[in-house]
């Protein structure tokens, strides 16, 4: 009974679909017949774009226009100039021997090798260039530098340096600062040598004086460690 109802319903639906399809076909055929128009014949002179007389239309008059085409100009790029190769020139340098500290000759006042114009001691009140004194007492003698503080070797001394003598040579400039330090001889402990040199570089002096002018000079201190 249920199957019979379903089949009846499907037959009615198919009938409705056939009728609707037929009506649609007839409607489109009538629309095609009554709305048919002939296509507009375009002139062979027509062109795409704005109409003639439009402000944005190109100028023209229906004729041909001549155009002057210039020949392309050939641009010549000059070649890159060649950079001359300069061969390195070897400069001969005179090798100056590097002297160790033990080979530096440190002369004391009065030990010069040049001879003066005259011999003998100077006279008080004389008109010469002498100052009535010798190398130790004359006005040209070197007044040694004077420390502005306590000069001491580092107290933290390893056992390998105890009981040894060490001489510290310092080069004191005109401002009284230490420019260079040398040990003669160095101690067996490299670490203690470094500490001693670092300590000596911090020393400050009144500079040496010769004839009223501060001069740079070497000076030494010797300790028994």
pLDDT score, position 38: 61
pLDDT band at 128 (very low <50, low <70, confident <90, very high): low
101: DSSP letter: G
Contact between 142 and 208 (Cβ < 8 Å):
yes
Who has greater pLDDT, 127 or 180? 180
Q: How many CB atoms lie within 10 A of CB 121?
A: 9
How far apart (Å, rounded) are the C-alpha atoms in residues 177 and 159?
31
Who has greater pLDDT, 220 or 66? 220
Q: In which domain, by residue range, is 189 found? A: 139-149+164-225
Q: Is residue 146 scored above 80 in pLDDT?
A: yes
Who has greater pLDDT, 177 or 132? 177
For residue 223, the Cα-to-chain-centroid distance in whole angstroms is 47
pLDDT score, position 73: 77
Task: List, in sequence order, every beta strand (DSSP E) within 103-145.
Answer: 142-143
How far apart (Å, rounded) are the C-alpha atoms in residues 151 and 168?
11
Q: Determine, yes or no, domain membership for 170.
A: yes
Q: Determine, yes or no, domain membership for 92.
A: no
Q: Determine, yes or no, domain membership for 183.
A: yes
pLDDT band at 200 (very low <50, low <70, confident <90, very high): very high
Q: Determine, yes or no, domain membership for 200.
A: yes
Q: Which of 107, 108, 105, 141 is nearest to 122 (CA)?
A: 141
Q: What percent of the chain has pLDDT over 70?
A: 63
Q: Determine, yes or no, domain membership for 155.
A: no
Q: Determine, yes or no, domain membership for 208.
A: yes
pLDDT score, position 40: 58
Our count of domains for the chain comes to: 1
Who has greater pLDDT, 24 or 138? 24
pLDDT band at 69 (very low <50, low <70, confident <90, very high): confident
Q: Determine, yes or no, domain membership for 21.
A: no
pLDDT score, position 30: 84
Contact between 173 and 204 (Cβ < 8 Å):
no
Who has greater pLDDT, 20 or 105? 20
For residue 207, the Cα-to-chain-centroid distance in whole angstroms is 40
Q: Determine, yes or no, domain membership for 45.
A: no
How far apart (Å, rounded) are the C-alpha atoms in residues 136 and 143?
10
């Amino acid at each position: 009974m249920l199957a019979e109802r379903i089949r009846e319903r499907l037959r009615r639906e198919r009938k409705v679909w056939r009728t609707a399809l037929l009506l649609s076909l007839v409607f489109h055929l009538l629309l095609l017949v009554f709305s048919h128009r002939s296509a507009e014949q375009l002139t062979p002179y027509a062109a795409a774009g704005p109409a003639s007389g439009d402000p944005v239309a190109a100028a023209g008059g229906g004729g041909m226009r001549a155009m002057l085409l210039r020949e392309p100009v050939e641009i010549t790029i000059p070649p890159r100039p060649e950079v001359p190769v300069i061969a390195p020139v070897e400069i001969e340098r005179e090798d100056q021997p590097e002297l160790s500290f033990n080979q530096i000759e440190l002369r004391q006042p009065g030990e010069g090798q040049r001879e003066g114009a005259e011999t003998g001691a100077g006279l008080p009140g004389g008109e010469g260039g002498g100052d009535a004194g010798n190398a130790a007492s004359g006005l040209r003698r070197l007044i040694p530098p004077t420390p502005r503080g306590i000069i001491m070797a580092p107290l933290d001394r390893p056992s390998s340096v105890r009981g040894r003598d060490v001489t510290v040579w310092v080069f004191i400039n005109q401002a009284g600062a230490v420019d260079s330090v040398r040990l003669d001889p160095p101690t067996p402990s490299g670490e203690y040598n470094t500490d001693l040199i670092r300590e000596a570089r911090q020393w400050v002096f009144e500079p040496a004086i010769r004839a009223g002018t501060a001069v740079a000079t070497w000076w030494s201190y010797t300790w028994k460690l």
